[in-house]
Homo-oligomer: A and B are copies of this chain.
Amino acid sequence: MPDALAPFRDLLGEGGVLSEPDRTAAYTLDHRELMRGQTEAVLRPRSVAEVQGLVRLARAQGYGLVPQGGNTGYVGGATPEPGRRQLVVSLERMTRIRGVDPLNFTLACDAGVILAEAQRAASEHDLLLPLSLGSEGSCRLGGNLGTNAGGLQVLRYGMTRDLVLGIEAVLPDGALFSDMRTLRKNNIGYDLKQAFIGAEGTLGIVTGVVLKLWPAQAFRATAWLQLSAGAPVPEIAALVRRETSDLATTFELISASSLGLVAEMRGADPGLRAGPGGAVLLELQASSARIPLDDVLMGTLEHLMEQGFVEDAVLAQSETQRRAMWAIRETIPEGEKHAGGSVKHDIAVPVSQLTAFLDRGGALLSERMPEVRLSFYGHVGDGNIHYNLVVPQGRDRLAFTREIEAGIAHDLYAIAIDLGGSFSAEYGIGRFKRDLLARYGDPTRLGLIAAVKRAFDPEDVMNAGAMLVEPPDA
């Protein structure tokens, strides 16, 4: 029996094809460990030409391909499905910083570059790449693009889509779509690169990217706010935007329950308290010392206290204090894990509907699952809320996850959608939310999605099974 992988080994070299199950295992298990995928091999190209070559080979031999970045996604978008004969394409050996243009404020990279490395390349030139996620130490730019990643600084800088100026991608027939221009303005026909952003690897394999940069934000002012009972978070967020002249980069709502999880994990009082309305971590940043950030922050806080929205506030007086505040926010996921894990709902609503969502969601949970602890927090300045249910003690995490996702999750999504919101703010569809897309996508929208997929990938080579329940021509 001929070795179907031999041509791939010829093309990519021995280290370029992993086929032993113990070597491929890490690539076939999704980040949340909910799905064990299956593949004959993981392909690890070193160049754009090798990506083009492997795409042509795969197509000729009837393999499907699953592009994978850091494999840190939450929805199984990079996991090869059993029964589909899919090879994984990992860009982990394509990690070249192609160039920084400090006067143009742009960074060009291979798509396999780890996000933190790209941030570092920018900061070496005293510039900022504002994309910032919990997984930035292991996620890769191609994955960020494929999922249109959001993260911690969307309020000021937008989603990944807002940061992308150029893309290079290998199409399902092996041709190269190259649009690596570093231009902010370029109206020359359909902006095709938009199609690859958030497409979850279903239209091609992104191999390169040009990102916008900003001047490094070397100056910061940070505060921890204790919200009054019934404090209207949307109004507060709007006031903060106005009073700080949009210098706020962070507006993280932290519920008392999320803070409690941090305290339990640490076995100690975290030192900062939530008010009756919860807490907010607020940070302002500037690139110039000419902006008196402390004054702006103080004045804003005074204004919020005069309005009765904030009971008390602590200003970080040193970098140590600032880090302590951030550590609380960043420890919440760990706190949830320590308590037994959590089921996450990646919900977005218009900022103005946030209170309505929290009220209605809270009422639903009290009625149907009074025993379950809720942990909610998030970058609510952009309408995104992480609404997580902690796995009750003694329950199996996976079984509880499946119960929630088959049950009350749908009711939470229905509330969000009723308020003009979304069942996926930033994680995407992947393989775990296909049914939700099919349920909530209207037929016209679903028809266009299928038509676009067909236009780019008529043979369904690229990441079949992600996003779309059926192949596009079914």
> Chain B contacts of A456 at CB under 8 A?
448, 451
Known pairs A192-B445, A449-B192, A455-B451; A186 contacts B245 (CB<8 A): no
Does B192 contact A448, Cβ atoms closer than 8 Å? Answer: yes
Q: Which of A104, A295, A352 has the most CB of B within 10 A?
A: A104
Q: Which of A183, A426, A429, A451 has the most CB of B within 10 A?
A: A183
> Chain B contacts of A291 at CB under 8 A?
245, 247, 291, 296
Measured between alpha carbons, how far is A242 from B198 in the docked complex, in Å? 31
- Report the nearest B residue to A448, measured CB to CB: B192
> Chain B contacts of A448 at CB under 8 A?
171, 177, 190, 192, 455-456
> Chain B contacts of A187 at CB under 8 A?
147-148, 150, 198, 422, 424-429
Does B352 contact A179, Cβ atoms closer than 8 Å? Answer: no
Known pairs A187-B427, A245-B290; A234 contacts B103 (CB<8 A): yes
Does A445 contact B288, Cβ atoms closer than 8 Å? Answer: no
Interface string of A93-124 (1 = CB under 8 A from B): 00000000111111000000000000000000
Of residues 225 through 247 on chain A, the ones whose CB sits less than 8 Å from some CB of chain B are: 234-235, 237-238, 241-247
Q: With an 8 A cutoff between CB atoms, is A215 at the interface?
A: yes
> Chain B contacts of A162 at CB under 8 A?
158, 162
Interface string of A361-399 (1 = CB under 8 A from B): 000000000000000000000111000000000000000
Q: With an 8 A cutoff between CB atoms, is A454 at the interface?
A: yes
Binding site for B on A (CB under 8 A): 101-106, 147-148, 150, 154, 158-159, 161-162, 171, 175-179, 181-192, 194-195, 197-199, 214-215, 234-235, 237-238, 241-247, 286-288, 290-292, 295-296, 299-300, 348-353, 382-384, 420-429, 437, 440-442, 444-445, 447-449, 451-456, 467
Known contacts A186-B424, A454-B455, then 15 further A-B pairs from the complex at CB < 8 Å, ordered by chain A residue = A103-B352, A104-B234, A148-B191, A158-B162, A178-B444, A179-B445, A181-B421, A182-B350, A183-B350, A185-B383, A185-B384, A189-B441, A189-B449, A190-B448, A292-B292
